[in-house]
Amino acid sequence: QGLVVALANRGFQVVAPSMDYLRQALHVRRLLEIPAMIEIASSVEPDRLAPVRELADTIMAAGVRGDIRSFVETDYTFHWQLTSLCGNTVLTSLIEEMRSRARLVVIPSLTAQGNLVEIAQEHLDLLTAIAERDLPAVERLTLAHMDRTHDAIRHAMDSAG
């Protein structure tokens, strides 16, 4: 996926995506994820949200503890499982590929800003809106969560000079 490059006689190196790529990928994610979340909210059976809710609770607990590793690992699984509820594996894979590339830049920025509990709460709020089939709230919350990613990218760019 271009996240790692081989270095002659030295092994491998993780390559952070360019800021231009991150901005473009976030735009594509907005085009894909918001309709996907609305589709999920319109059709998902409530019992299918229970395992995703458990992941969101785990993310919140990790955020409260300041356990970055657990937060990030569970966040990955949370987003994968939530998006997969749309039933489109190609869409889920595409979104997660873009999210994975962004994580290299976004996670250090979010960690530095110290707002893991707020991010975790966004997950819980989104799941509540999905369960209630509140489509305007699903759209608003998904966009707000993605705006946080945009802000983290901008913060990373500012920090990089």
At residue 74, the 3 state secondary structure works out as helix
Mind listing the pLDDT tens digit for each residue in 26-71? 899 999 999 999 999 999 999 999 999 999 999 999 999 989 889 9
Q: At what angle do helices 89-113 and 135-160 cross, to 10 degrees?
A: 50
Per-residue pLDDT at 85: 97
Please tell me what DSSP assigns to residue 46.
G
What confidence score (pLDDT) does residue 140 get? 97
Confidence of residue 21 (pLDDT cuts 50, 70, 90): confident
Judged by DSSP in three states, 115 sits in coil
What's the whole-number average pLDDT of the chain? 86
* Res. 160: pLDDT tops 70: no
Give CA–CA dist 50/102, Å, rounded: 27
CB contact at 8 A, 152 and 109:
yes
Instruction: Determine the pLDDT at residue 101.
Output: 77
User: CB neighbours of 33 closer than 8 A, spacing ≥ 6?
Assistant: 83, 95, 142, 146
Mean pLDDT of 135-159: 83
Contact between 26 and 153 (Cβ < 8 Å): yes
pLDDT of residue 15: 62
User: At 10, phi and psi to the nearest 5?
Assistant: -130, -15
| Predicted confidence (pLDDT) at residue 159 exceeds the cutoff of 70 | no
3-state secondary structure of 37: helix
Tens digit of each residue's pLDDT (9 = 90 or more) over 117-127: 999 999 999 99
Contact between 34 and 25 under an 8 Å Cβ cutoff? The reply is: no
More confident residue, 6 or 63: 63
* pLDDT tens-digit readout, 80-114: 999 999 999 999 999 998 888 777 767 766 666 67
How far, in Å, CA of 117 to CA of 71, rounded? 10
Higher-confidence residue of 138 and 7: namely 138
Q: How far apart are CA 102 and CA 127, in angstroms?
A: 23
